[in-house]
Amino acid sequence: ARPGQVVDLTNCDKEPIHIPGGIQPHGVLLVLQEPALTIRQVSENAEALLGVPASSLLGTALESLLTEPQASSLRTCLLSERLEDNNPLKLTTRVGGREHFFNGIAHRHQGRLILELEPTFEQEALPFFGFYHQARSSMSRLRNAKDLSALCLEAVREVRRLTGFDRVIAYRFDEEWNGAVLAEDRLETSDSYLGLWFPASDIPRQARELYTLNWLRIIPAIHYEPARILSLPEDAGQGPLDMSFCVLRSVSPIHLEYLRNMGASASMSISLLKEGRLWGLISCTHVSGDKYVPYEVRKACEFVGEFMSSLLVTKEGNEHYDQRIRAQSIQVRLLERMTRHPDFAVGLTHPPPELLELTGATGAAVYFNGRTTIIGQAPGDEQLQGLIDWLAAKPDPQELFCTACLSNHYPEAAAFKDVAAGLIAASMSRGRHNYVLWFRPEVVQTVAWGGNPNKPVDLEGAQPRLHPRKSFALWKETVRGKSLPWKDYEVEAARELRRSVIDIVLQRSEELLKLNM
């Protein structure tokens, strides 16, 4: 946010993070005018890194900073159509007899040629063969991962190996853009984030849009003073520089505060895309000081993200495939027991976990001929009876009634949302009211929150500013009374079980009829 602009819960996703007006000061940003490569804009930290004050660079030609042979090859590179293919440009500046080495990262956006210079040391780059072998073995590990979890784990290990971040996690968005940590590689002395969920507002819409366009972003040192971008006076009316594709783009102050609250000192994240849509992130955080990752290593990390992205369709497809197979084998065992056992309810509920596993429920009730058998967590007897009466009296009885927010349909359910905010109710016979009910608790109860909620809220500044931790409170309100959604294959498994039970019931009653004849 710019000075005077207050970001709050209602406009969090409107913060224009692509035009922050400044950069992170570990590099210098230049906007060049073609063909002479005149410096039209430059970040105010130029003096610290180049040895020339920003104000005296404005209006001059970039070449004056460089040694002559470089200047002409630079011009060839920069003026080419696909200038990004030449990144990083290895540049040496000479000012007052002192040489400085840089990686130059160039791109064109909205008709502007932007060159970002990151200081470098010769020995920093991965040797070519090292990179090649690493990439090859990393590709085969990712490709051979047997399923989605294995793929995520290989990827976070690979990124941690490449960079040395204290923690690397793989993070997947759900339908509402909340995220869950699927895999982690971390310092052994730190707490695990595995399985934790984070609310959608932690990574707002406009940030997700930028991350769909860029593979990687880095914050090497969160405690920085942004370096403003200075322009020639005659360009003053041009409006702020769009930094959507800049590697030095200054970061949202809200996010920096978020990282401070997490105890992080540096951060990097890599996008994971599935069929062009942001699927998740590989998110890296460092707690033990600044963490600068050289350009070549970042490219190797991007490569891991890009390659993992290309594998998501098959590996995630397999995930559901495995779950379906598992549901089918449970189904077979349940049916076999039901046909053997004169009392269905017993067949269905022994051993108890199988009926729950079938749909991923935490509790179930089998209501058969006026008798109820309960497994796992379920509403109390009276609450259950009330629910069954309500189901039986529904004006539009369905074979399968399925909801992730029962209290929307049946307000009395608010009283037992801790065990049954979500419900699948399968009606097992016409006329008589026999049901199998599956329950899931309110999502706030099941989902573990990863932002250290017990930590006292930091002092807020003089301006009423949004504290990132407040987003969790907001999120809790939006999910109040709701369970995690039932997945298609879980609903399908309930439907399948219903069909089989009805078949068995019919078969038995026919047999009974024959006996009685």
Choosing from 62, 142, 151, 169, the residue that interacts with ligand BLA (CB under 6 A) is 169
Nearest-approach distance from CB 304 to ligand BLA, in angstroms: 15
- The reply on whether position 255 binds ligand BLA by CB under 6 A is yes
- The reply on whether position 207 binds ligand BLA by CB under 6 A is yes
- The reply on whether position 178 binds ligand BLA by CB under 6 A is no
Closest C-alpha to 400, from 475, 493, 335:
493
- 441, 418 in Cβ contact below 8 A? yes
Characterize the bridge pairing of strands 38-43 and 277-286: unpaired
| Binding positions for ligand BLA, 48-87, rule CB under 6 A | none
Residue 145 and residue 482: Cα distance in Å, rounded? 34
Q: Give CA separation, 101 vs 41, 88, 117, 329, in Å.
A: 21, 12, 9, 63
Nearer Cβ to ligand BLA, position 247 or 374? 247
Choosing from 30, 113, 203, 230, the residue that interacts with ligand BLA (CB under 6 A) is 203
Q: Is 102 exposed, middle or buried (0-12, 13-18, 19+ CB in 10 A)?
A: buried
Nearer Cβ to ligand BLA, position 265 or 483? 265
Q: For the chain, how are helix, strand and coil distributed in percent, rounded to 5?
A: 45, 25, 35
| Binding positions for ligand BLA, 280-299, rule CB under 6 A | 281, 283, 285
If binding means CB under 6 A, how many residues of this protein chain bind ligand BLA? 30
Nearest-approach distance from CB 254 to ligand BLA, in angstroms: 5
Q: Stretches 78-86, 288-296, 366-374, 465-473: which one binds ligand BLA (CB under 6 A)? A: 465-473
Nearest-approach distance from CB 24 to ligand BLA, in angstroms: 10
Q: Give CA separation, 126 vs 104, 123, 257, 294, 464, in Å.
A: 17, 8, 33, 9, 46
- The reply on whether position 202 binds ligand BLA by CB under 6 A is yes
Q: Give me the amino acid identity at 167.
A: R
Query: At which residue do the structure tokens 């509402």 appear?
Result: 176
**Beta bridge mates, 403:** 423
Nearer Cβ to ligand BLA, position 117 or 266? 266
- The reply on whether position 15 binds ligand BLA by CB under 6 A is yes
Choosing from 25, 88, 204, 441, the residue that interacts with ligand BLA (CB under 6 A) is 204
Alpha-helix residue ranges (DSSP H) falling in 342-461: 344-349, 353-359, 381-393, 406-409, 417-420, 443-446
Nearest-approach distance from CB 228 to ligand BLA, in angstroms: 16
Closest C-alpha to 474, from 176, 206, 257, 211:
176
Choosing from 93, 267, 434, 483, the residue that interacts with ligand BLA (CB under 6 A) is 267
- The reply on whether position 12 binds ligand BLA by CB under 6 A is yes
Tokens matching residue 5: 């602009």
- The reply on whether position 17 binds ligand BLA by CB under 6 A is yes
End-to-end Cα spacing for the chain:
83
Nearer Cβ to ligand BLA, position 322 or 458? 458
Nearest-approach distance from CB 172 to ligand BLA, in angstroms: 11
Please spell the DSSP secondary structure of 312-335, one letter per residue: HHHHHHHHHHHHHHHHHHHHHHHH
Nearest-approach distance from CB 149 to ligand BLA, in angstroms: 17
Residue 110 and residue 108: Cα distance in Å, rounded? 7
Q: Is 162 exposed, middle or buried (0-12, 13-18, 19+ CB in 10 A)?
A: buried
Choosing from 447, 466, 484, 501, the residue that interacts with ligand BLA (CB under 6 A) is 466
Query: At which residue do the structure tokens 């990574």 appear?
Result: 203
- The reply on whether position 254 binds ligand BLA by CB under 6 A is yes
Residue 160 and residue 148: Cα distance in Å, rounded? 18
Nearest-approach distance from CB 165 to ligand BLA, in angstroms: 10
- The reply on whether position 93 binds ligand BLA by CB under 6 A is no
Nearer Cβ to ligand BLA, position 38 or 446? 446
DSSP state at residue 192: P
b/e 80-98 (16+ beta carbons within 10 angstroms → b): eeebeebbbbebebeeeee
Choosing from 43, 70, 201, 407, the residue that interacts with ligand BLA (CB under 6 A) is 201
Q: Stretches 123-131, 228-236, 248-256, 306-314: which one binds ligand BLA (CB under 6 A)? A: 248-256
Nearer Cβ to ligand BLA, position 44 or 202? 202
Chain residues binding ligand BLA by CB under 6 A are: 7, 12, 15, 17, 169, 179, 193, 198, 201-204, 207, 217, 219, 251-252, 254-255, 258, 267-269, 281, 283, 285, 450, 466, 468, 471
